Amino acid sequence: MKKMFVWVTLIFLAIDLVTKTWAENTLMIGGKQETVISYLYWSLLYNKGMSFGFLESRPTLVLLLNFIAISVVIYILIKYLSHSFMWYIASALIIAGGIGNFVNRLFSGHVIDFISVQGYPAIFNVADIEIRLGMVFIIILVSKDYFVEKRKEKL
């Protein structure tokens, strides 16, 4: 299972890095390119901060926080989490997304964002989707475990 976790993490990381490379080589900064989905656009942006440009003036702090977050998730995975398939997928998504953004910040000083959704106030990337999707999976898994434990207590 651990080998599969590494491979899944690497696949998610590759998807993120390949899409960022595509965006940087194809799109123009500040431009807006339509897609086949009417509310989805490609729009290249270099983000030196975190979500919504938070801490943009503190790139070293952002890099450090990114590294700490990745380390904490890896530690929790190794130390505490059950080794079920869905926990691995959720963790792989978060770790891959975190590493993808960390690699951008480390080597470029910014994250490559390029996905724009009409009505959503920020431009984001695949790593951001991976991180949020992994977090949703973890919330679902924790909620499921909580309700199973509550049900056992009533019996």
Active-site positions read 113, 128
Query: How many other C-beta atoms lie within 10 A of the C-beta of residue 33?
Result: 14
Identify each DSSP E strand in the chain by its residue range.
Answer: 33-34, 40-47, 111-117, 123-124
Answer yes or no: are the C-beta atoms of 124 and 13 closer than 8 Å: no
Answer yes or no: are the C-beta atoms of 137 and 93 closer than 8 Å: yes
Torsion of CA 94, 95, 98, 99, to 10 degrees: -150
Stated as kind and residue range, the H or E segment containing 78 is helix 59-79
